[in-house]
């Protein structure tokens, strides 16, 4: 009996949910309906010791004078959580007059400065292990600025320094990004890997970007930089230059529309990105253009069932495409059912759909014995059914439906602290051959 009582004490003290996500407390909730006549009078933020108020306010659709609905409260809470700066976000509604309310936003900040060991897998392949060390400040100056340095050994050793400032102005309209990186990459070309002439590539890469954000959902981005690519042994197609070294500038522009509620694992909203990148200058050397699209939709069918879909493409035009600029299924992009198969081309087209059923809503577990930045931990579990299809092809080949690789399956997805997602899936291909998949991050 004493053991049972002691166990119940431990559960109550350490493991009782601190709150559900998304969660908000509403005073006089009977009057806060989807067709509410209440408007926001003022917004107050508490718990943000380091983070500036304007970083949080930038993500909110509700502003003073806005009409309040339960849907908008949930949406804004998820958007603030998606900043990746907080363990938990709660919004409280406090009526002040007959038709006005104050919004109280309560946040629990994460730890922002991480000297950390690096260990992971490349191209979502557990055989490609890398390791190293890095330093991250995820909220420099409390403005959601990112400072990042990392050095990696093992598979594809690399090093990079990266800085991003999403608040060149306090209204968050302009962003700045800069990176310099070095990597030694094992060739990805399937043709070379299956021959005796496999090779490695060395990349030195530097880029500067400037972004303009319109409202909450629209972003326009421009970037430019310079890249050096050298191969261990020259053969035609590996580089454009016969010296085995390509040096070229690049320029890019992209537009993003994003209304997703929770970026790490969305349950509602849309995402669309259109990008164009020019590699090299008009000349006899590298001179190509890539056009990429990525469109995603997340539709709640019920409170617990979410239907999602994705369409993505990457097309090339211009001169010859060196091997380091080709596209693949089997590395970053995968077709479940053909998860470990690599297919190579110059153009790519893919489709994916998933049906999510929330087995239990994410809960926030309070570990009072841990430091505040680590004391509130998020856990949730989702069952999924999915289908994938896609193809890659070279410019001298035709786009054909009978060349599509296809797969379908089911899985369990675990929503973990610090915005981590662990996926365990089982997939079958068109020949009904099955495979188990253990992966990190949402599928799209």
Contact 43, 22 (CB under 8 A): no
| Cα–Cα distance for residue pair 292/269, rounded to 1 Å | 21
Q: Which residue has the tokens 């849907």?
A: 71
Quote the distance between the C-alpha of residue 39 and its chain's center.
33
Contact 421, 265 (CB under 8 A): yes
Residues of the chain with CATH 3.10.20.310: 2-109
| Cα–Cα distance for residue pair 347/197, rounded to 1 Å | 24
| Cα–Cα distance for residue pair 50/138, rounded to 1 Å | 11
| Cα–Cα distance for residue pair 329/337, rounded to 1 Å | 12
Per-residue pLDDT, 278: 97
Mean pLDDT of each 10-residue bin along the chain, 444 residues long: 31 34 39 65 95 94 91 93 93 88 94 78 70 88 92 87 92 94 83 66 95 94 96 84 92 97 93 97 86 98 96 95 92 93 95 96 85 84 98 93 95 92 96 94 90
Per-residue pLDDT, 97: 81
Q: What is the dihedral of CA 405, 409, 412, 416, to 10 degrees?
A: 10
The dihedrals phi and psi of 68, each to the nearest 5 degrees, come to -90, 135
- Give this prediction's pTM: 0.77
> What CATH number is given for 166-440 in this structure?
2.40.160.50
Q: Which is nearest to 320 in space by CA: 435, 238, 233?
A: 238
Going by C-beta distance under 8 Å and a sequence separation of 6 or more, which residues neighbour residue 93? 24, 25, 26, 27, 28, 29, 32, 38, 68, 73, 101, 102, 103, 104
Give, rounded to a whole angstrom, the gap between the first and last alpha carbons of the chain: 48
Structure tokens at 40: 């926001």
Residues of the chain with CATH 2.40.160.50: 166-440
CATH topology of domain 2-109: Ubiquitin-like (UB roll) (3.10.20)
Per-residue pLDDT, 191: 63
| Cα–Cα distance for residue pair 163/159, rounded to 1 Å | 14
Helices (H), ranges, 330-404: none
Instruction: Say if strands 327-329 and 269-279 run parallel, antiparallel, or are unpaired.
Output: unpaired
Q: pLDDT tens digits, residue range 53-104?
A: 999 999 999 999 999 888 899 999 999 999 999 999 999 998 888 789 999 9
| Cα–Cα distance for residue pair 58/214, rounded to 1 Å | 11
Which 3 state secondary structure label does DSSP give 407? strand
Cis amide leading into 395 (omega within 30): no
Q: Which is nearest to 411 in space by CA: 392, 425, 400, 399?
A: 425
Per-residue pLDDT, 247: 93
Q: What is the dihedral of CA 233, 236, 241, 245, to 10 degrees?
A: -20
């Amino acid at each position: 009996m004493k053991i049972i009582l002691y166990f119940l004490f431990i559960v109550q003290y350490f493991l009782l949910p601190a709150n559900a996500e998304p969660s908000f407390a509403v005073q006089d909730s009977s009057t806060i309906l989807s067709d509410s006549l209440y408007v926001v009078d003022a917004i107050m933020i508490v718990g943000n010791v380091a983070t500036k108020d304007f970083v949080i306010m930038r993500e909110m659709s509700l502003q003073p004078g806005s009409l309040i609905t339960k849907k908008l409260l949930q949406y804004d809470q998820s958007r603030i959580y998606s900043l990746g700066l907080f363990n938990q976000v709660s919004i409280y509604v406090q009526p002040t007059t007959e038709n006005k309310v104050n919004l109280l936003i309560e946040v629990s900040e994460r730890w922002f400065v991480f000297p950390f060991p690096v260990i992971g897998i490349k191209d979502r392949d557990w055989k490609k292990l890398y390791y190293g060390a890095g330093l991250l400040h995820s909220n420099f100056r409390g403005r959601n600025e990112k400072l990042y340095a990392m050095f990696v050994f093992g598979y594809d050793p690399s090093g990079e320094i990266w800085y991003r400032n999403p608040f060149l102005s306090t209204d968050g309209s302009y962003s700045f990004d800069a990176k310099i990186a070095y990597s030694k990459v094992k060739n990805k070309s399937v043709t070379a890997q299956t021959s005796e002439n496999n090779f490695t590539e060395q990349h030195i890469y530097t880029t500067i970007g400037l972004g303009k954000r319109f409202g909450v959902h629209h972003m326009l981005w421009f970037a430019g930089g310079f890249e050096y690519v050298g191969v261990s042994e020259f053969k035609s197609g590996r580089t454009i230059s016969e010296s085995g070294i390509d040096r070229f500038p690049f320029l890019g522009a992209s537009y993003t529309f994003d209304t997703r509620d929770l970026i790490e694992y969305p349950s509602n909203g849309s995402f669309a990105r259109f990008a164009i990148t020019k590699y090299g200058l008009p000349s006899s050397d590298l001179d190509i253009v890539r056009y990429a699209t990525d469109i995603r939709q997340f539709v709640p069918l019920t409170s617990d069932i979410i239907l999602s879909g994705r369409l993505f493409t990457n097309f090339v035009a211009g001169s010859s495409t060196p091997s380091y600029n080709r596209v693949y299924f089997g590395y970053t992009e995968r077709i479940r059912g053909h998860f470990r198969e690599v297919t190579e081309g110059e153009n790519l087209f893919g489709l994916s759909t998933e049906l999510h059923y929330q087995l239990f809503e994410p809960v926030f577990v309070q570990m009072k014995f841990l430091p505040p930045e680590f004391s509130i931990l998020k856990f949730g579990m989702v069952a999924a059914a999915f289908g994938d299809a896609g193809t890659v092809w070279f410019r001298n080949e035709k786009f054909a439906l009978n060349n599509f690789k296809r797969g379908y399956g089911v899985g369990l997805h675990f929503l973990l602290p610090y915005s981590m997602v662990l996926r365990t899936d089982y997939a079958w291909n068109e020949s009904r051959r099955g495979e188990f998949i253990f992966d990190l991050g949402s599928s799209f």
